[in-house]
Structure 1
Amino acid sequence: MALSQFVPFSATELLLASTVFCPVFWVFKGLRPRVPKGPKSPPEPWGWPLLGHVLTLGKNPHLVLMRMSQRYGDMLQIHIGSTPVVVLSGLDTIRQALVQQGDDFKGWPDLYCFTLITDGQSMSFNPDSGPVWAAHRHLAQNALNTFSIASDPASSSSCYLEEHVSKEAEALISRLQELMEGPGHFDSHNQIVVSVVKVIGAMCFGQHFPKSSDEMLSLVKNSHVFVENATSGNPVDFFPILRYLPNPALQSFKAFNQRFLRFLQKTVQEHYQDFDKGCYQFLL
């Protein structure tokens, strides 16, 4: 019986398909990041070409990864697209990585979405953990520690943080009471988020944002755009080709970050006008 009865392609078509597929496969394989020579690569389950283990993980990746760890051990490697991802399981293994070898595992992954946050200069989402990042982190920690310890002699609060939180809590209760006097039902999410933003604004800029700041309120209401795209697992971080295809969600994320950056820059410039050097001596 002829082979053509089982295979709906001619030998020429199969040869042509193989000729096209093989070079493409080897090109993508060559583009995949590899472990440098020297370190031993962790065990890796079989994955699909180009897609890696995306289809394998499915809708319950935590269960799939648990089964993988039972077979391959507490440290294994998978691929999300062309990006290698090391998976750690077990309390002892995680403690060794995050505590005993914390310097080796610190920092964020170099994801595309993170480069869009404050033009890639964000301290929270920057993959760089070098001396400049360490100096900024040390400065921020000192400021937060002082803000939670130092207090205004004219205030009854124990520290500046408590003072701002107490004032904003009172303002929040007043706003909620006003809303209850109206229809009697409302979404409290935006009200609470706005209060938190005002406290953070007071910590960063020494003052509350005005109620009339429509730009700030608009940013707060659209903060879900940031959350949905900055979380790990965004397809554009692992499949670079998606960055160049029509992607409304990605465009919204870019626009939000640009608006947020312009808002911060404008607020900082305004803050320079009434800058009091004496208020910041505790940072030195």
Structure 2
Amino acid sequence: MSLLGSQSIISVTEILIASAVFCLTFMVIRSFRQQIPKGLKRLPGPRGYPLIGNVLELGSNPHLTLTQMSQKYGDVMQIWIGSRPVLVLSGLDTIKQALVKQGEDFMGRPDLYSFHHITDGQSLTFSTDSGEVWRARRKLAQNALKTFSVLPSPNSSSTCLLEEHVSKEADYLIRKLLQLMEEKKRFDPFRYVVVSVANVISAMCFGNRYDHDDQELLSIANVTEEFGDVVATGNPVDFIPVLQYLPNRTMKKFMEFNTRFLRLLQDIVKEHYESFEKDNIRDITDSLIEQSQENKVEANANIQLLKGKIVNLVNDLFGAGFDSVTTSLSWSLMYLVTYPDIQKKIQEELDQTIGRERRPRLSDRPMLPYTEAFILEMFRHSSFLPFTIPHCTTKDTVLNGYYIPKDLCVFVNQWQVNHDEPGSEAVPDTHPS
């Protein structure tokens, strides 16, 4: 037993030593090889420690630390996380220049360890691929989502099918919250908001909704925070390779979540294949199946949508707005409870403009300026997503006079923009997924 234990210790020690030598060698070689073209500036930024870079400086609130650093080094700077250099963008003008005006240069995703565990590394959103096949599948997914979002509702006066699903689920959620208030007097609304958001997306993707006590859905909804923690900017396991071989509770839960969620989607897609009717397209999954059977993906016959790819597309569509919508609704509820005077003004605007005979519709938006202002300010002030998902440069480029090499990981400090420039819009994630 002791022999096995000592061998295990030696094994870990060897891994640590080998990783240290590799990282040091990599940093030295990179520093000598990086040549800055004449007329361009080298990226500024703090010096990092060997092996760990600037990890210790970032602390538990990296968005605050990077905001302070940007005041010293500017809106374009470079830090090191482990042995990997990372470009940090701050300032609204700089971020718009990079993600909008030079969007093609910054549209990539870095090859991160955690991304490989999302739908077996085949996710459109987290994929490093941006070739012809990827673009065609992305376009097909976008078209399916857009079609079922704006499709007229056959059963109600709602503007579109998406609005009908949202309105129905809102009614159910309100009744549920009123029931809980009467029975328990106090409760955490997050769990019920999570399920309601999942039901809207599920109705669009799968044509059905779940009960608020459905254990399978709750088991997935309850670990969405762990998913966000792993894919968020600055996860050490993505930048310090040795951590991939050490026990990591967060990564273990992350991989278990992805496996369970993928299995759930595979079962749903299988059921759709078994009950599919060409003349009765019920939801987005049916639409994707139709496309795969009729080879409508593009004129290029080499681009096909296999059953496994449908699962990946549905996974991206289902997960795209799940966490962000849930979090934004939770923040909205918190602000409304904290500021009852604002809640009262919103209610007065709704009563005067719409009345209480019906629910608000998308077409009412131009007549509800105060309500819209509250929603936009909530997005800005809460900054519930301090960073966008990491980007990556697709080629050597130049930004604000600084030379930026290809394949450089990019962090976008959205928190700094939202708090330093009141009234600005949230930073868009322009990765074309």
TM-score range, shorter chain: 0.7 to 0.9
* Contact 2:19–2:242 (Cα < 8 Å) also in 1: no
Q: Which residue of 2 aligns with 1:3?
A: none
Q: Deviations over 1:141-182 (max 9, x none)?
A: 222222232113343222110111111112212222332332
When normalised by structure 1's length, the TM-score is 0.80
Q: Deviations over 1:161-211 (max 9, x none)?
A: 011111111221222233233222222111111011011011111222356
CA distance in 2, matches of 1:34, 1:210: 54
Kindly indicate whether residue 200 of structure 2 is the aligned counterpart of residue 205 of structure 1: no
CA distance in 1, matches of 2:79, 2:147: 43
Alignment of 1:1-284 (within 5 A): 27-32=22-27, 34=30, 40=37, 42-59=43-60, 61-62=62-63, 64-66=65-67, 68-209=69-210, 213-278=214-279, 279=281, 280=287
Report the alpha carbon displacement of residue 48 of structure 1 after superposing the two structures with TM.
1.0
Letter in 1 for 2:126: F
Q: Deviations over 1:36-78 (max 9, x none)?
A: 7666552343221111122233455445545544554432221
CA distance in 2, matches of 1:169, 1:190: 14
Which range moves more in the overlay, 163-172 or 128-137?
128-137
Secondary structure of the equivalent of 1:277? coil
Q: Which residue of 2 aligns with 1:10?
A: none
Gaps of 5+ in 2: 1-17, 282-286, 297-433
Q: Which has the larger radius of gyration?
A: 1
When normalised by structure 2's length, the TM-score is 0.55
- Change in Cα spacing, 1:30 to 1:202, as seen in structure 2 (3 Å) is same
- Change in Cα spacing, 1:29 to 1:209, as seen in structure 2 (3 Å) is same
Between Structure 1 and Structure 2, how many residues are aligned? 263
Which range moves more in the overlay, 105-114 or 78-87?
105-114
CA distance in 2, matches of 1:24, 1:227: 27
CA distance in 2, matches of 1:95, 1:189: 33
Gaps of 5+ in 1: 1-22
- Change in Cα spacing, 1:54 to 1:74, as seen in structure 2 (3 Å) is same
Higher relative contact order (CA 8 A, sep 6+): 2
* Contact 2:79–2:85 (Cα < 8 Å) also in 1: yes
- Change in Cα spacing, 1:232 to 1:60, as seen in structure 2 (3 Å) is closer
Letter in 1 for 2:25: G
Secondary structure of the equivalent of 1:228? helix
Report the alpha carbon displacement of residue 225 of structure 1 after superposing the two structures with TM.
2.1
Which range moves more in the overlay, 192-201 or 237-246?
237-246
* Contact 2:19–2:241 (Cα < 8 Å) also in 1: no
Which range moves more in the overlay, 130-139 or 24-33?
24-33
Report the alpha carbon displacement of residue 214 of structure 1 after superposing the two structures with TM.
2.1
Identity of aligned residues (%): 53
